[in-house]
Chain A
Amino acid sequence: MKLDAKIPAGPIEKKWDNHKFSLKLVNPSNRRKYDILVVGSGLAGASAAASLGELGFNVKVFTLHDTPRRAHSIAAQGGINAAKNYPNDGDSVWRLFHDTVKGGDFRAREANVYRLAQISNQIIDHCAAIGVPFGREYSGLLSNRSFGGAQVSRTFYTRGQTGQQLLLGAYSAMMRQVAAGTVTVLPRREMTDVVLKNGQARGITVRNLLTGELEAHTGHAVLLCTGGYANAFYLSTNAASCNVSAAWAAYKRGAGFANPCFTQIHPTCIPRSGEHQSKLTLMSESLRNDGRIWVPKAKGDHRPPNEIPEAERDYFLERRYPAFGNLVPRDIASRAAKTVVDSGFGVGPTGQSVYLDFRDSIKRKGADKIKEEYGNLFDMYYQITDENGYKAPMRIYPAPHYTMGGLWVDYNLMTTIPGLFALGEANFSDHGANRLGASALMQGLADGFFIAPATVGGYLAAGKFEELSSGDKEFTDSARQVHDRLNRLLAIRGKRTPSEFHRQLGNVMWNDVGMGRSEASLKKALKKIPEIREEFWKDVVISGADKDFNQPLEKAMKIADFMEFSELFVRDALERKESCGGHFREESCTPEGEARRDDENFSHVSVWEYQGPDKAAALHKEPLTFENIKMAERSYK
């Protein structure tokens, strides 16, 4: 596997402009002759489909939902960053670039991040123009807030539903192209394989979820916009259908998988309550602007929180990080909560949570003001826990939320398979080892609206394509393999349900590969996961038929892929013997327990190459160099 990031030469400010100029263009009258297959209809997928459609390419969009508008981008709450500097507080493209590289703990590619910061402003312009109802000031101008510990206010938002509004904006732009005839949406399709011809990605096979039929679709380029894989943990803030299957299928066809162990654990989630819980609900981290996080100073203090006097409370974030206090980045806040819980200071019926207390800010600002700012979050908390956050502190605990790792892509967002692109959370490119708040939406839309239309066009203009039809051997072979796998699963008729296996896998992932990872825990996981997988293929029970609307089968297919993928995840975590961002190796920390990065040995992207079903994946490294930002230890003290 050759890793050529294709980073353009020249000063960082000019790289993207120069590169766009160097890319070949497809003649407008020829564009409709190119078929582009977009898998996934979230921010990245919908925006890519819309802009490629606007250019005149012939685009097909596949989504596993009943309508593209349900993609999980819709659940993002907080906002979207841009370097507009409207508030005149010192922001700039350079500062956003700097903050993102630093926030990612120096494990992202400088050139990509700079481009992201550059494009961020265009995203806001475009989204405002297509009718996204951003929050505004009385002047009629756009409103900004500070988010996720940033020292400038660069976050644009639509109340607590920014992801929803941006997704609906991208969706509407895409529906405009559906009406114009350049985009066709194929809903209720799960991608099952990428089909290659002469080493190029030339199509996909998908399973029609209503009929169970396997369909073959040919194309000149395939864009995977299939999101992240936090559901490997079973319980996460992701939607139930989020999965790794499409990326995993691409990996098995030769696409390198980068940094799979980089996972973001979000600090402000509602803690788990019991065995049957199906998901963890995130509450916007804006809560940390006014809420104070604490645990009792005494272990096993079971008094109701309001009866614990001030002197007996440990505001551990304020204590450990006096400069940033409760506003430290997500990875640090999450890990600190884990540390106190692991030491036995956790609260609540399970002991697996910490308090998020608004008592002082209610006193300071008044209950009405708090209600105005966070009312919907307090309501959400009440609905789920039946507890009133105004009267007693809420309980929170970190939960898997976002995956920085993903398919390796070059500067063009192309994977190691020519013609196969990965956009949005599905790729690894911009967030390094930790993503800053309000940056996921920015990246999804930058990739889809602005980057892919240029680079996919460049690839098509320069490429040579052989004739191919959906009846060709490449497709029938792929369909046969998928069909066999489906039927192997259906034939097992064991005793344990897919969810039970998923939960079992998730427990291993959470306990051994979660917020704290050690060589011992990772090795333990590496032993357990193949056992669970073997058990799964012997004892899972799925009913119904292959050629039918069969939800248990859909679920089992996803879990089967998670079972394989998780092992790679753990191997990557084991290989990376440093702590960086969301990846915390217990062996690699300072005496005070802070993460210690090892730039000498790990300043690289780990890219894994598939070697066959029973062979260990091969590791390749893309070295990371930092020419514009001085590598430094992240300190939030």
Chain B
Amino acid sequence: MTNNSKNFSVTVRVWRQAGPKEPGKMVSYKVKDVSPDTSFLEMLDILNDNLLKAGEHPVTFESDCREGICGSCGLVINGDVHGPDEHSTVCQLHMRRFKNGDVITVEPWRVKTFPILKDLAVDRSALDRVMKAGGFVSIPVGSAQDANAIPVEKDKAEEAMDAAACIGCGACVIACPNGAAMLFTGAKISQLALLPQGGPERARRALGMVEAMDREGFGNCSNEYECEAVCPKEVKVANIARMNREFLLANLASKR
């Protein structure tokens, strides 16, 4: 069993907002007897169970896989996107990062393209609409040739995988001083630009996805690389440069 003597108490200040159009405010709660082995979200689970028992509605927050891959969770904790651990999602953060008596400020992701739904949950569907605009290779089922008929340079394949590692959590948008989705969009455009499979649709994809991104109201890139610093999957800003290149070339050299 866990060593209870190590357990401690924290105060969490959480953004509470009953609905998309309701006013919100920060509310403080004390959470006692937290084990350092508890994850941050499990600490919120404890808080929520306490609230339920006290007749209050629990804090709404999103999470699913709790192993850092589904991209559901996302909070700003004490001013840090996805919390204080580098290149990690909130679900991987553990309470041993905090100490007895800490006051922890927990805020939702605030950007106009991700409207708040309730408490800490936001709507990130804008990212799906960007994907819809070209984040795919148009090969129908049944028409593919043998997989080894398309050799791909190993370094390129690795680079494509680096870009493809994106989990669509949206942290890059939140970290960006301008609320841009350049790292997200750049990662997808890059992945498919690096692979020969994506070749025939490069121009269409770059123009379509960038225009969709603009339509959603995501911001501009000021090349400050805050996105790269918080990305849980360490997606690199070189992908943004590649997107810029793809877009400019598509605009000047393609028929579109």
B38 partner residues in chain A, CB cutoff 8 A: 274, 276-277
Q: What CA separation (Å) do A203 and B112 show in the bound complex?
A: 36
Contacts of A131 in B (CB 8 A): 136-137, 160, 191-192, 195, 197-198
**Chain A residue nearest to B197 in the complex (CB):** A131
Q: Which of B41, B133, B137 contacts A130 (CB 8 A)?
A: B137
Report the separation of the CA atoms of residues A500 and B48 in the bound assembly, to the nearest whole angstrom.
12
A54 in contact with B140 given A67-B128, A497-B49 (CB within 8 Å): yes
State whether A129 touches B56 (Cβ < 8 A). Answer: no
The segment from B63-71, B174-182, B235-243 that touches chain A is B63-71
Q: Does B229 contact A (CB under 8 A)?
A: no
B154 with A137: CB separation less than 8 A: yes
The answer on a CB contact under 8 Å between B94 and A497 is no
Contacts of B221 in A (CB 8 A): none
Question: Contact mask B49-63 → A, CB, 8 Å, 1/0?
Answer: 100110111101011
A173: chain B residues within 8 A (beta carbon): 136, 141
* A175 near B136: Cβ-Cβ < 8 Å: yes
Contact A541 B161, beta carbon cutoff 8 Å = no
The docked-state distance in angstroms from the alpha carbon of A278 to that of B61 is: 15
Contact of B136 among A140, A176, A275 (CB under 8 A): A176
Closest-by-CB residue of B relative to A545 is B57
| Assembly CA distance A210 to B139 (angstroms) | 34
Indicate whether A240 sits within 8 Å of B66 (C-beta atoms), given known contacts A51-B141, A133-B161: yes
A141-B148 contact in complex given A239-B70, A276-B35, C-beta closer than 8 Å: yes
Cβ contacts under 8 Å, A497 to chain B: 48-49, 52-53
Q: Which residues of B contact A66 (CB under 8 A)?
A: 62, 72, 123-125
Q: Which A residues touch B125, using CB under 8 A?
A: 66-67, 187
A178 close to chain B: CB less than 8 A: yes
A-facing residues in B163-190 (Cβ within 8 Å): 164-165, 167-168
Taking a contact as CB atoms under 8 Å apart, the answer to whether B69 and A126 are in contact is no
Cβ of A69 under 8 Å from chain B: yes
B132 touches A178 (CB 8 A): yes
- B58 and A165 form a contact (CB under 8 A): no
**Cβ-based interface call for A511 (8 A):** no
**Which residues 94-130 of B have a CB within 8 angstroms of A?**
94, 96, 117-118, 121, 123-125, 127-128
- A273 vs chain B, min Cβ distance (A): 4
Cα(A282)–Cα(B35), bound, Å: 21
Is A320 positioned at the interface, with any CB of B under 8 Å from its CB?
no
CA separation between A185 and B56, bound complex, in Å?
Answer: 34
A279 touches B66 (CB 8 A): yes
Within 8 A of A (CB), among B1-16: 1-3
Measured between beta carbons, the chain B residues less than 8 angstroms from A349 are 1-3
Contact A179 B148 (CB under 8 A): no
Given contacts A70-B70, A274-B37, contact A142 B154 (CB under 8 A): no
In the complex formed, the residue of A with least CB distance to B55 is A543
Chain B residues near A65: list those with CB within 8 A: 64, 70, 72
A544 vs B65: C-alpha distance when bound (angstroms) = 25
Interface residues of A in 121-150 (CB under 8 A from B): 122, 124-131, 133-142
Q: How far is the CA of A69 from the CA of B165 in the complex (A)?
A: 13
| Cross-chain contact A67 with B1 (CB below 8 angstroms) | no
Q: Is A551 an interface residue (CB 8 A)?
A: yes
Min CB distance B26 to A, Å, is: 20
Contact with B139, one of A47, A129, A185, A281 (Cβ below 8 angstroms): A129
Report how far A159 CA is from B45 CA in the complex, Å. 32
A161 to B68, CA, bound (A): 11
Q: Least Cβ distance of A242 to chain B in Å? A: 9
Whole-angstrom distance between the Cβ of B132 and the nearest chain A Cβ: 5
Is B2 a contact of A273 with CB atoms below 8 Å?
Answer: yes
Q: Tell whether A75 is near chain B: CB-to-CB under 8 Å.
A: yes
Decide: B60 and A164 in contact? CB cutoff 8 A: no
- Check if B37 sits within 8 Å of A273, measured CB to CB: yes
A254 CB to nearest chain B CB (Å): 31
| B-chain residues with CB within 8 Å of residue A492 when the two chains form the complex | none
Measured CB to CB, the closest approach of chain A to B213, in angstroms, equals 15
Is A453 part of the binding interface, using a Cβ–Cβ cutoff of 8 Å?
A: yes
Q: Are B151 and A449 in contact (CB under 8 A)?
A: no
Whether B67 and A128, one on each chain, are in contact in the complex, defined by CB atoms closer than 8 angstroms, is: no
Contact check, B151 vs A179: say whether CB atoms are below 8 A apart: no
A239 touches B45 (CB 8 A): no
Shortest Cβ distance from A40 into chain B, in angstroms?
14
User: Are A75's CB and B69's CB within 8 A?
Assistant: yes
Chain A residues, CB < 8 A from B150:
128-129
Contacts of B48 in A (CB 8 A): 497, 552
C-alpha gap A497/B52 in the complex (Å)? 7
A141 CB contacts on chain B under 8 angstroms = 148, 151
Q: Known contacts being A158-B164, A541-B53, is A274 close to B127, with CB within 8 Å?
A: no
Among A168, A240, A543, the residue within 8 A (CB) of B57 is A543
Q: Which residues of B contact A601 (CB under 8 A)?
A: none
Give A380 to B232 CA distance when docked, in angstroms: 13
**Residue B131 at the chain A interface, CB threshold 8 Å:** yes
Interface residue A571 (Cβ < 8 Å from any Cβ of B): no
Tell whether A22 is near chain B: CB-to-CB under 8 Å: no
**Residues of A544-574 contacting chain B, CB below 8 A:** 544, 548-549, 551-552
- Contact of A74 with B by CB under 8 A: yes
Q: Is the CB of B67 within 8 A of A279?
A: yes
Residue A470 at the B interface, CB < 8 A?
no
Task: Report if A361 contacts B (CB, 8 A).
Answer: no
Residues on A with C-beta less than 8 A from B64 are 65, 70, 72, 239-241
Contacts of A125 in B (CB 8 A): 144-147
Smallest beta-carbon distance A542→chain B, Å: 7
B148 touches A135 (CB 8 A): no
Q: Is B46 an interface residue (CB 8 A)?
A: yes
With A66-B72, A67-B125, A172-B131 already in contact, 19 other A-B pairs whose C-beta atoms are closer than 8 Å: A75-B65, A126-B144, A128-B144, A128-B197, A129-B137, A129-B144, A131-B191, A133-B160, A136-B154, A136-B157, A139-B151, A142-B147, A164-B165, A276-B35, A281-B67, A383-B88, A383-B92, A499-B49, A543-B56
21 interchain pairs, CB-CB under 8 A: A68-B128, A75-B70, A124-B147, A126-B142, A129-B197, A159-B161, A175-B135, A187-B128, A240-B65, A273-B2, A273-B35, A273-B37, A276-B45, A281-B67, A282-B67, A383-B92, A384-B39, A500-B49, A549-B117, A551-B60, A552-B48
